[in-house]
Structure 1
Amino acid sequence: MKLAQRDAVLLEETMGLAEIRGRSLWADARGRFIRNKAAVAGLVVLVLVALFAFFGQVLAQYEPQHVDFSLMGANAWRGVPSLETGHYFGVDSDGRDLFARTVQGTRISLLVGIVGALVAVVVGTLYGAVAGYVGGRTDQVMMRTVDILMSIPFMFVLILMLVIFGRSIFMLFLGIGLISWLDMSRIARGQTLSIKNKEFVEAAVATGVRPFTIILRHVVPNLAGIVIVYSTLLVPQMIIFESFISYLGLGVQEPMTSLGALINQGASQMNNGTLWMMGFPLFFFLITLFAFFFVGDGLRDALDPKDR
């Protein structure tokens, strides 16, 4: 009887150890991320901001370009935030509903950040993986090119591109993304140097797989962890760049708007007693940035192999 009980206990312990050892990196990372309260809170905030940006127009009583001529020049005492008038965030200096404008600005700022980060991550990852895997003189030429490009002021190049090719939302996406891939390429190259000598890469080489196929199928997927972490930290950086460009008047042009443009417009009207014109866009700007930073820190801690 005692032997049967002892065998049952040993069997349960063995099954428990097998279950623990059988968990994948992603399962462990998910558990560590969920235990990080700040990261989970940031993820919840990001979801709420995304819902506001893409579905907030349903709650708006006015269109972003709708002008209430009766409130132009009188918004300091009549265009205040009010549920009765339907102007939940008040109106701007031109008599347009600030709630609808903030929804549009948040959506465009998120798109600029996400699309810009996506372009930077794709270009930088492929460039760095190719440089690190090929090595030799090719690696030297490619990385010295990156060093030269990094020595050029980023904002100067972006402003020059917008002035030469036109101030459009497409050029903003393209310009921010194509100039921000340099750091990602250096990170991807460093990781590739440690991956290309692994057994699975050597097995692929021995079976005759082409180098570019090895890069796409074996090297790049193993960069997923660092790429995900860097992309979440890159999105708020893209949003800040876009806001700065819009603050200078070179970003998103009317009738569209962004959070940076709304903050700029609100800051110019602060002396008129209309603090809400800057307060609401600034609030969404700050909580979006902090949420991305918390999520990025949580992913970095969760995907760190030293914590396994």
Structure 2
Amino acid sequence: MTHVTNVETAEVVKGRSLWQDARARFFRNKAAVASMIVLILVSLFALFGGMLTPWSNEEIDWNLMGDVRTLGGPSFETKHYFGLDPLGRDLYARVVQGTQISLMIGIVGALISVIVGTLYGATAGFIGGRLDNIMMRIVDILMAIPYMFVLILLLVVFGRSIFMLFVGIGLISWLDMARIARGQTLSIKNKEFVEAAIATGVSTPKIIIRHIVPNLLGVVIVYATLLVPSMIMFESFISFLGLGVQEPLTSWGALINEGAGQMRYGTLWMLGFPLFFFLISLFAFFFFGDGLRDALDPKDR
């Protein structure tokens, strides 16, 4: 028996996965890439910005305490890079802390929404039937309750704290994610890989976690990036009303509130610096989320 072996030089063509294709599409979006760079810089400012100043966020410069409006402006000589706040504290250190707290609230709120909402919606969509109807009616009832009213009520009744902000945000923020996850689950629950898992006897929780949820990651990631600025805006609005974090802690909303109250005295730096970080971060999150949405949209591939 003769075996003829013909060895030829073959060019191996490597295909790109969907995630590699999405990454290439994302990096072609200049606005999204620029927004990602801005977010990285803002995060580095929050993490390491406090190392660049000798002042703490609570320390008062007693030498300038009585002349904040005239001598409390931004100065490299006194190392008050962003000037002083109305109480004579270093505004740069306050903005660093405000950035830390606002980003933390936005990211933690988004994580709560993504984890709870995705599991809830995937469970309702996959199981279906009466359980699906009951679970989604609960979502409809909760969505009918005014979100800001609940958050303000919690802060008034149980006291202002970061923990209560997390609780208030976590109670309501996952509802939209649950509806999105349910809709996506309904579109993939009858796919071949899910039917194969059911046929081989895989339990329902494992199917949801190992097969349904991973196929929702694209939508989940996009929604999370767009949810972070919403959480930051909610927190800033609450802090602007004076119901947010308590002194000596601060956030972008609290700093903007303080700065807006001092505008008539000509101390524009008290409003300008926190407002600048607030705006560039929000725009960066929105453009970054739009870039991810365009990169992960299967209709555009």
TM-score bracket relative to the smaller structure: over 0.9
Residues 65, 255 of structure 1: 8 Å contact kept? yes
| Aligned mates of 2:66, 2:31 — CA distance in 1 | 43
Partner residue, 1:31: 24
- Equivalent positions of 1:237-252 (< 5 A) are 237-252=230-245
Correspondent of 1:41 among 34, 37, 47: 34
Structure 1 residue 155, shift from structure 2 partner: 0.1
- Equivalent positions of 1:86-165 (< 5 A) are 86-165=79-158
Structure 1 residue 69, shift from structure 2 partner: 2.4
Instruction: Give the partner amino acid of 1:214.
Output: I
Structure 1 residue 181, shift from structure 2 partner: 0.6
Residues 73, 94 of structure 1: 8 Å contact kept? no
| SS at 2:63 equivalent | helix
Alignment coverage as a number of residue pairs:
294
Partner residue, 1:215: 208
| Aligned mates of 1:269, 1:73 — CA distance in 2 | 15
Partner residue, 2:276: 283
Residues 32, 288 of structure 2: 8 Å contact kept? yes
Q: Render the CA deviation track for 1:197-221: whole Å, top value 9, x for unaligned.
A: 0111101101111101110110001
Residue 260 in structure 1 maps to residue 253 in structure 2 = yes
| Aligned mates of 2:53, 2:218 — CA distance in 1 | 39
Partner residue, 1:180: 173
| Aligned mates of 2:174, 2:255 — CA distance in 1 | 28
Structure 1 residue 306, shift from structure 2 partner: 1.3
| Aligned mates of 1:61, 1:294 — CA distance in 2 | 35
Residues 222, 289 of structure 2: 8 Å contact kept? yes
Correspondent of 2:184 among 179, 191, 194: 191
Instruction: Give the partner amino acid of 1:111.
Output: M
CA RMSD of aligned residues (A): 1.1
Residues 118, 177 of structure 1: 8 Å contact kept? no
| Aligned mates of 2:275, 2:218 — CA distance in 1 | 31
Partner residue, 2:3: none
Q: Render the CA deviation track for 1:211-259: whole Å, top value 9, x for unaligned.
A: 0111011000100000000000000000000000000111111010000
Unaligned runs of 5+ in 2: 1-7
Correspondent of 2:52 among 59, 63, 84: 59
Residues 143, 172 of structure 2: 8 Å contact kept? no
Partner residue, 1:3: none
Q: Render the CA deviation track for 1:31-80: whole Å, top value 9, x for unaligned.
A: 00000000000000000000001100000120000011232242121111
| Aligned mates of 1:28, 1:226 — CA distance in 2 | 16
> 4+ residue runs of structure 1 moved beyond 6 angstroms?
none
| SS at 2:145 equivalent | coil
Instruction: Give the partner amino acid of 1:192.
Output: T
